[in-house]
Structure 1
Amino acid sequence: MSKIRIAVYAIYVFVGLIVGFSFILPNNYSVYRGVIVDAQPNEIHEYVGNLDNWSDWTLWQQQDPSLKIAVLKPTGVGANQRWGGDSGTGSLTFIREDTWYGVDYDLIVDNNPPMRASILYSLDGNMTRVEWFMRGKVNIPIAGPYMALMMDGMLGSMLQDNLDNLKRVVESAN
């Protein structure tokens, strides 16, 4: 058997394994990051629970200066914003919002399936633990499960950077 034929068979086996594994790997993902803030939940919620204040602590516009954000309703259940820029388009809608709980929201980016996200508060002594979760599903045949495996790496540092900035902004305001 020639070396070329062996190489071709090896490529077929490799591609077959990649395709085969894509059918048994999950295509859903979950990303989590957290930070301790020296403030009470109600002080943090002034920034998290009001979409008009997200520009004070989120870094989206620093990462994409072309980003235009329109807040359609700033607070409460149904609070909503839409955005567009070089990095894409999307929308965010609060589905639960409470001063001592945090917010749950649906996030749609570039017409992909919605992600469910939460920014939650829990008392930790005199401080508050703020935890940010994102959960979703990548519905792309074959590549979806592999992309789901990479979501923590792609989104995690972005969530942590924003949480660290939220901590800085809230603590400097107190």
Structure 2
Amino acid sequence: MKILKTALLVVVVLLALLAIIGLLIPSEVTLDRQTTVNASPQSVYEEISSMKRFNKWSPWFRIDPEGTTYKFSGPDSGVGNKMEWASDHEEVGTGSQEIVEAIEGQKIRSEMYFGGFDDPAYANLTLEETDGGTKVTWTFEGNMGSNPMFKLMGLMMESMLGPTYEEGLANLKERVESKPLFSVEINEIKVEPINYLAIRETFDVTKPETIGPRMGELYGQILGYINANGVMGAGQPMSVYVDYSDTGWTADIAIPVADTGEVNDEKIVAGQTVSGKVVQGIHMGDYNQLDDTHKQLQAYMQFNELEANGNGYEVYVTDPTQADTAQWRTEVFYPIK
């Protein structure tokens, strides 16, 4: 009986201690970590404003990359961009993270739910331009509720989560500082399909001086067909790339149309561009420099592990009869999955 009384007394004392802990330990938990990235705030912002890009540097993604399933919803970036995950690995578990505030080049705030917890936690990534680049501050805000055990866990959050935040910031710094530099504006957008009529031609890259004049001739022929057949044009001239080789490239030299109709000329082909997600590059200047823009778009896709999804194309927005070639605008599109 004495042993039983002692055991009961110990239990009562432990319960009393837990009750006292529940009263004295705050429910709110916060921590923060910082690093400086040798890059502009905008360059860093691009990597933190998308949940898919978050996984490129997230320390948790690297724990169980094969065993974790991910679901993304909402816009591709910014407010409403959401990621849900599920893993049997105890360090990953299940949960969701959604961007609830986004200030371009300055801040991302995310709301997070973890399996086993009803209340959300929040993470902020704030950017501050400095002489050395961009100071990145990553903060965690959580409420452990009234459960004394959860509150005790909150006391250990600094040692549990702090090193992981440091690892994540180191990954982010490495990724941003290794990012290729781009001199053209590059965007990821969604586009509608474009119907077009075209003449397919193969061009010899060893004779670049012949390409422009030949394209001019082909556009003249297509416009002649369109006018003769009462087809309604629907946009600026364009080229759709069909094939590449070491010596040249094959493209549909095209005019967008509302409806291709029934083609009655064997030289004319009807086509349609791919709809959906694309990487868009804005090229300003002479057409002779377009190859560099293409290389930058390809480097962008490689860095971000984007997979092509159809033929790329160029749209010549500016009338080339304009004398100032610096004002010529060409939009280059690469469809992606």
> Normalising to structure 1: TM-score of the pair?
0.88
Residues 1:16 and 1:100: Cα distance change in structure 2 (over 3 Å):
same
Could you tell me the percent identity over the aligned residues?
Answer: 24
8 Å Cα contact 1:38/1:171 also seen in 2:
yes
* Partner SS, residue 24 of structure 2: coil
Residue 59 (structure 1) shift: 2.4
* Partner SS, residue 80 of structure 2: coil
Residue 21 (structure 1) shift: 2.5
Residues 1:78 and 1:15: Cα distance change in structure 2 (over 3 Å):
same
One-letter amino acid matched to 1:102: K
Q: Which residue of 1 aligns with 2:82?
A: 80
CA distance in structure 2 between the aligned counterparts of 1:78 and 1:169, rounded to whole angstroms? 24
One-letter amino acid matched to 2:83: Q
In structure 1, list runs of 5 or more residues that go unmatched: none
* Partner SS, residue 16 of structure 1: helix
Residues 1:80 and 1:14: Cα distance change in structure 2 (over 3 Å):
closer
- Which moves more between the two structures, 16-25 or 123-132? 16-25
CA distance in structure 2 between the aligned counterparts of 1:114 and 1:126, rounded to whole angstroms? 35
CA distance in structure 2 between the aligned counterparts of 1:64 and 1:31, rounded to whole angstroms? 25
Q: Which residue of 2 aligns with 1:60?
A: 60
8 Å Cα contact 2:49/2:77 also seen in 1:
yes
Residues 1:137 and 1:5: Cα distance change in structure 2 (over 3 Å):
same
Residue 16 (structure 1) shift: 2.3
Q: Which residue of 1 aligns with 2:196?
A: none
8 Å Cα contact 1:34/1:132 also seen in 2:
yes
Q: Which residue of 2 aligns with 1:70?
A: 71
CA distance in structure 2 between the aligned counterparts of 1:137 and 1:151, rounded to whole angstroms? 12
Residues 1:11 and 1:84: Cα distance change in structure 2 (over 3 Å):
closer
Deviations 1:23-43 (A, max 9, x none): 221111002111110011100
Q: Which residue of 2 aligns with 1:114?
A: 120
One-letter amino acid matched to 2:84: R
One-letter amino acid matched to 1:69: Y
Q: Which of 1 and 2 has higher RCO (CA within 8 Å, sep 6+)?
A: 1
Residue 12 (structure 1) shift: 4.3
Residue 77 (structure 1) shift: 1.1
Residues 1:7 and 1:48: Cα distance change in structure 2 (over 3 Å):
same
CA distance in structure 2 between the aligned counterparts of 1:67 and 1:159, rounded to whole angstroms? 20
Residue 108 (structure 1) shift: 0.7
One-letter amino acid matched to 2:35: V
In structure 2, list runs of 5 or more residues that go unmatched: 181-337
8 Å Cα contact 2:96/2:113 also seen in 1:
yes
Q: Which residue of 1 aligns with 2:96?
A: 91
CA distance in structure 2 between the aligned counterparts of 1:53 and 1:7, rounded to whole angstroms? 54
- Which moves more between the two structures, 142-151 or 14-23? 14-23
Match of 1:150 among 156, 162, 167: 156
Residues 1:77 and 1:16: Cα distance change in structure 2 (over 3 Å):
same
Paired residue total:
173
One-letter amino acid matched to 2:32: Y
Match of 1:172 among 175, 178, 198: 178
One-letter amino acid matched to 1:142: P
CA distance in structure 2 between the aligned counterparts of 1:111 and 1:78, rounded to whole angstroms? 23
CA distance in structure 2 between the aligned counterparts of 1:5 and 1:76, rounded to whole angstroms? 60
8 Å Cα contact 2:123/2:140 also seen in 1:
yes
Structure 2 matches for 1:22-61, cutoff 5 A? 22-61=22-61
Residue 75 (structure 1) shift: 0.8
* Partner SS, residue 156 of structure 2: helix
CA distance in structure 2 between the aligned counterparts of 1:110 and 1:4, rounded to whole angstroms? 38
Q: Which residue of 2 aligns with 1:159?
A: 165
Which one has the bigger helix percentage?
Answer: 1
Please tell me the root mean square deviation across aligned C-alpha atoms, in Å: 2.2
Rg larger in structure: 2
